[in-house]
Structure 1
Amino acid sequence: MTEKPLATIERLRQENKITKLTGIFEDKILTKGKGYAFAKQFFDETYTTRCHAKVTVFENDQYAVSVFASSNLTKNRRVENGVIISDRETAIWAKNYLISITNQDDNK
């Protein structure tokens, strides 16, 4: 995750387009530089796991959008693919499933 997507996320939070942000990161982030500490500044809840899935759930009072994609939140020139689903039931399922496989004691 790089600064540009985090800046966009922060702008959307300031505009109340995102009201809660939960981050689930591959556990390798704990041993690689300051990435996890940096990300924790932007997320309400953070978890780590061995899962390498790329799932992002954006929520506010009106919308719940889930993004399932092959890409990381970085700038790259590779061809990637993904699906965007905009219903709350899918967002709830995605969050609950991913949290169920995380290291619960990492939540801070």
Structure 2
Amino acid sequence: MLLQPEHIAIPAPDADLQRLQRLQRSYLLEMDSEEMQAAISRAQEGDLIRYWTRGRYSTHNLIALCAQRLGKCDLYFSTWALSLPAVERIAAMQSSGMIDKVVCLLDYRTKTNAPDAVQLLEGIAERITYRRTHAKCYVLQNEHFGCAIISSSNLTTNRRTEGGVILFCKESATLDAQFIYGNSNSTNDRTDGSC
């Protein structure tokens, strides 16, 4: 059974109740680019935006909108696939000063599947780790604010319907960024294709 937000009864103090009411209003089934831009530009700490793209925009578009909301920030991300246009967009944001540090956790197959995108990314990223990963998590943060985009979509130009959430929570963004950054020190995942 699918629960609608109005059917979820959570006893909470007044501050938590206001946060829950904001969360209930945040579900936007299908947004075009203008609606997404407006929702992100209004986002506050604790807000959650849930979305379906209907192929109208790609992850790098969401990263750009979130970077505009945060101001100068660092980008940490994990993805299974890359495309050159998406990495070019990140490089342009870094060149303009919108994004400072870039740290990546990539599936090891991206080196073979997207060599041009990887080559460009290697020129702009502070740290890249290649491991077996299927996670799609994109974190933007600065000293004052943070957000994490948890999405079904890779860092590619994508015309398919994808879904995800954007959580505006500095603490959560910091934890995700630490995982992405710190995961490069682990050797538990094999990169030879075996299980």
TM-score, normalisation: structure 1: 0.77
User: Matched residues in 2 for 1:95 and 1:63: separation?
Assistant: 13
User: Matched residues in 1 for 2:131 and 2:109: separation?
Assistant: 9
Answer yes or no: is the 8 Å Cα contact 2:104–2:181 preserved in 1: no
Change (3 A) 1:20 1:29: same
User: Matched residues in 1 for 2:132 and 2:156: separation?
Assistant: 20
Matched, 1:45 2:127: yes
Structure 1: where are the runs of 5+ without partners?
none
**Who is 2:90 aligned against?**
9
Secondary structure of the 2:85 match is helix
User: Matched residues in 2 for 1:6 and 1:62: separation?
Assistant: 26
Counterpart pick for 1:78 among 152, 156, 160: 160
Residue identity in the other structure for 1:68: I
The higher-RCO structure (CA 8 Å, 6+ apart) is: 1
Secondary structure of the 1:82 match is strand
Taking every aligned residue pair, what percent have the same amino acid on both sides? 24
Higher gyration radius (CA)? 2
Change (3 A) 1:37 1:69: same
Q: How does 1:1-108 map to 2 (within 5 A)?
A: 1-32=82-113, 34=115, 35-102=117-184, 104=186
* Alignment: residue pair count: 105
Residue identity in the other structure for 1:64: G
Runs of 4+ in 1 over 6 A off after TM superposition: none
User: Matched residues in 2 for 1:54 and 1:41: separation?
Assistant: 21
Structure 2: where are the runs of 5+ without partners?
1-81, 188-195
TM-score, normalisation: structure 2: 0.47
The offset of 1:14, in angstroms, is 2.6
The structure richer in helix per residue is 2
Root mean square deviation, CA, Å: 2.3
1:10-59: CA deviations, max 9, x gaps?
A: 22223322111111101112333524333212211111221200111123
Moved more, 26-35 or 81-90: 26-35
